[in-house]
Amino acid sequence: MIIDGHVHIARLQTTKNEKRTPVTPEKLIKKMDEEGIDKAIVLPIVSPETGFFPSTCQEVLKASKKYPDRLIPFCNLDPRAAGNKPDTDFSWVLEEYKEAGCKGVGEITANLYIDDPRVKNLFYYCSKLKLPVLFHLATKVGGVYGLADSIHLPRLEKVLQEFPEVIFIGHAMAFWSEISAKVDEKTRGGYPKGPVKEGGRVPELLKKYPNLYGDLSAGSGYNAISRDPHYGYKFLEEFQDKLLFGTDICFIEQELPQVKFFKEGLKKGKISKQTYKKITCENIKKLLGI
C-alpha cells in the first residue's frame, strides 16, 4: 500500500495564462489510480499568500466523505484568523474539525516567522488536541508564502523545543535545501544541485528531535533525495522512521517522479523493503493512528 502524505484538491492558478487543470476529487482519485497510490492526505489551503482560490476545510471534508477509503482529511487555520492576534482561541474550531474526522493541521502557508507569537499560539492548540502539523517553510517574510526561518533553521529548532508534544512535518525548499551542510542564501530557496555534504541541518534535527518528520513531496523533497542518489538512498535508510512519502499533487498535468524513484529504488535494492513500507505507508499510519 502507498499512502501519499501530501495532496490538494484545489485550483492553484496564480497567473491568468497558467495552464494548470484544477484538481477535483474525481480527478484526484483518477490520478492516484494511474500512479498506484492507494490513499492520500488532503491538505486545505487557506492563507491568501498562496493564490486567489482557497481550498477550504469544508471542501476537503466533503471529498473525504465521498471517498472515505481513499482520502484522509486535514484541517487548516491561518494563524492570523479571527483578529490577527497572539491569543486567539483556536481550540473550539480545531475540536470541531477533529470531531469531523480531520487527522492533522496543514499545510500551513501563512508568511510569518515560524516562531511568531501568532504561529506559536496555533501550535499551542494543536498540542492540546494532539494534532500533527505540516508546514511549508520559506526563506523570508514578504514576497513568498510559507512560514519563514533563517538559514540553518534556528527558529524551527526553538519551536521543536517549545512544543515537544506536537509532531511537526517539514516541507518545501527552505527545509529540504538544509539536507546538505553546503547551503547558502542563494540556493536555500530553490533546488540545489550536486553532491550532498554531510552534516546538514535537517539530518541533525531529525536525529535530535523525536517530534520532527520530513515530508518528501514536491520538487523540494524529490530534489533532496535525488540530487545525489548515493546519499539520498542512504538518507532514506537512516531516517526510515522519520520520513513520509508524498507528491504534492497541485494540478492534473503534474509529473510525479517520487513514485518512480521509490519503486525503482526498491526493485534495484537501493532501499530495503522495510524502509519502503515504512516511508510509503507505515509511518503515516502510525502518526495518524489509522
Q: For residue 205, how many C-alpha atoms fall within 13 Å in the half-sphere facing its CB?
A: 28
- In the chain the first and final C-alpha atoms are separated, in Å, by 13
Judged by DSSP in three states, 101 sits in coil
Q: What is the Cα–Cα distance from 133 to 94, expressed in whole angstroms? A: 12
* Residue range(s) defining the domain that contains residue 279: 3-11+20-288
All residues at 6 or more sequence positions from 208 whose CB lies less than 8 Å from its CB, including other chains: none
Of 169, 157, 79, the closest CA to residue 124 belongs to 79
pLDDT of 26: 98
Q: What is the Cα–Cα distance from 275 to 4, expressed in whole angstroms? A: 15
Q: What is the Cα–Cα distance from 72 to 68, expressed in whole angstroms? A: 7
pLDDT of 186: 93
pLDDT of 15: 84
Q: What is the Cα–Cα distance from 269 to 179, expressed in whole angstroms? A: 23
All residues at 6 or more sequence positions from 205 whose CB lies less than 8 Å from its CB, including other chains: 153, 156, 157, 160, 212
- Total of domains in the chain: 1
Q: What is the Cα–Cα distance from 136 to 284, expressed in whole angstroms? A: 18
Q: What is the Cα–Cα distance from 20 to 24, expressed in whole angstroms? A: 12
Which residues of the chain are under the pLDDT cut of 70?
none
Residue 242, domain CATH: 3.20.20.140
pLDDT of 18: 82
| Nine cell digits for residue 30 | 483518477
Cβ-contact 141, 79 below 8 angstroms: no
All residues at 6 or more sequence positions from 274 whose CB lies less than 8 Å from its CB, including other chains: 240
- Full-model pTM: 0.97
